[in-house]
Structure 1
Amino acid sequence: MKEIGLIEDDNILRNAYAKYFKITQTFKVVFSVPDIADALSPGTLHPDIILLDVNLRSGSGIDGIKVLSSRFPNSKIVILSSMEDARLTRLAIENGATGYMLKSSSLAYITESLLKLDEGGIPFSPATISHVVQTTQRESRTEISELTKRELELVKLLSEGLANKTAADRLNVTYFTINQHLKNIYKKLGINSKSELISWYLNK
């Protein structure tokens, strides 16, 4: 069972998430706190996933992504916000978030998206996926020439939230081939993670 940490200042909502995960036995909640400072307390367990709100008492959760990444280097940070804003989606990914989901999404959809992380999926709500797609269509950068046509096709699919296995099916190649493509892409761009790759794609 995957372990999850919740950072949400609305006590009722935070408790509802924790209760849902416990009832469905999808995740084990290792901490459930109202602010980032509470999660940074000594002795806090390191979860596999951190669900992070944007509007917190101490300020923007997005500004705290890098602090959390430093404290929990192996945790995937996913924004869970009521704010549907293309600029915030982009900023969250640039700061190192793995995904950006909306609280208006059903708990079942949120859970399913988080479970796909092991398959290389990137959790987005439909509206925030469109934020990513719209941004990539508007901007261009010369580094794009460093990648092959097939590598660019893969990056585009992954930026839309597809899991590695789904991207493999879409491109009619094996899962192993997708992993090899990703290794080559990471080496060419000098990056180490999918969130960095999406950040690059958002700014290309």
Structure 2
Amino acid sequence: MSDSKISVILADDHAVVRAGFRRLLEEEGDIEVVAEADSGAECLDEYERCHPDVVVMDIAMPEMDGLQALHRFHNRFEDPKVLILSYHEEAVFAERALAEGAAGYLSKSAAPELLPKAIRQIAEGGRFLDPDIAQEMALRGSRGGDNPLEGLSEREFAVFLQLAEGLSANEIAVRLHISPNTVNTHLYRIKRKLGVTSRTELTRLAIRHNLIEA
């Protein structure tokens, strides 16, 4: 690997997606994909092995999602530079990622040339935010913030999404490596914070905020 190239890890649980992004990046000439991962846990291991300049990571991955991995990156490593690349285009996801220490957030539907641009900017110590999401965040701020989901903790938000998608407490417990009782405790707190009384209302709330499809 040339020292002049920006080294990158691609973390996404879809091999076809990783292959497409690898081709896009390596056509640039100054970016080299040095490793791939299909989960947050594997991404952490690969980072420890090769210490890349930038990690490009999805949010929705098995075993350990991108937000959980972000938290662990900052606990284990000094100043990791992580770009979240996700199909989620809602500002709330970008806000969560930035709060967990991401250096940038980009939607997978963004123009292809924005990905290498974001990587270069982050590698140089800067930050990058998808222009459309940045606009949404600015509009939300001008309205004073009207999203009740902002009051959820990172773990409550993760549980909320999976409850809204119809997963059982046992299924969520396996995914998040916590007990079913802990899931139920989070569910109680989520309902209280959001002012809802049933899982059906949780699902409707998630649909209303474009977090899941109807």
Contact 2:104 2:122 in 1 (8 A): no
Q: TM-score by structure 2 length?
A: 0.59
Distance change in 2, residues 1:72/1:28 (3 Å): farther
Residues 40-83 of structure 1: per-residue CA shift (max 9 Å, x gap): 33752111111110110125311221112233423211110011
- What pairs up with 1:37-186 in 2 under 5 angstroms? 37-41=41-45, 44-117=49-122, 121-139=126-144
Count of matched residue pairs: 140
For the Cα contact (< 8 Å) 1:48–1:74, is it kept in 2?
no
Structure 2 residue aligned with 1:4, among 2, 5, 8? 8
Alpha-carbon distance between aligned partners in 2 of 1:34 and 1:118, rounded to the nearest angstrom: 22
User: How far apart, in 2, do the equivalents of 1:118 and 1:14 lie?
Assistant: 20
Quick check: 1:78–1:98 contact (8 Å CA) kept in 2?
Answer: yes
Q: Distance in 1 between matches of 2:30 and 2:106?
A: 18
Return closer, same or farther for 1:69/1:55 CA change in 2, 3 Å cut-off.
same
| 2:30 pairs with 1:26 | yes
**How far did 1:119 drift?**
5.6
By how many angstroms is 1:26 displaced?
A: 2.7
Cα distance in 2 for residues equivalent to 1:99 and 1:112: 11
Q: Percent identity?
A: 23
Relative to the length of structure 1, the TM-score reads 0.61
The residue type equivalent to 1:104 in the other structure is: S
CA 91–113 in structure 1, closer or farther in 2 if over 3 Å, else same? same
Inter-partner Cα distance in structure 2 for 1:106 and 1:50: 19
Q: CA deviation at 1:139?
A: 4.5
Max Rg structure: 2
1:10 deviates by 0.9
State the SS of the aligned residue for 1:107. coil
TM-superposition CA deviations, 1:147-189 (whole Å, max 9, x none): xxxxxxxxxxxxxxxxxxxxxxxxxxxxxxxxxxxxxxxxxxx
CA distance in 2, matches of 1:5, 1:34: 11
SS at 1:75's partner residue? Answer: coil
Unmatched 5+ residue regions in structure 2? 146-214
Contact 1:7 1:53 in 2 (8 A): yes
SS in 1 for 2:45: coil
- 1:35 and 2:39 aligned: yes
Shift of 1:105: 1.3
Task: Give the match's secondary structure for 2:128.
Answer: coil
Helix, strand or coil at the partner of 1:56? coil
Give the structure 2 partner of residue 174 of structure 1. none
Moved more, 63-72 or 79-88: 63-72
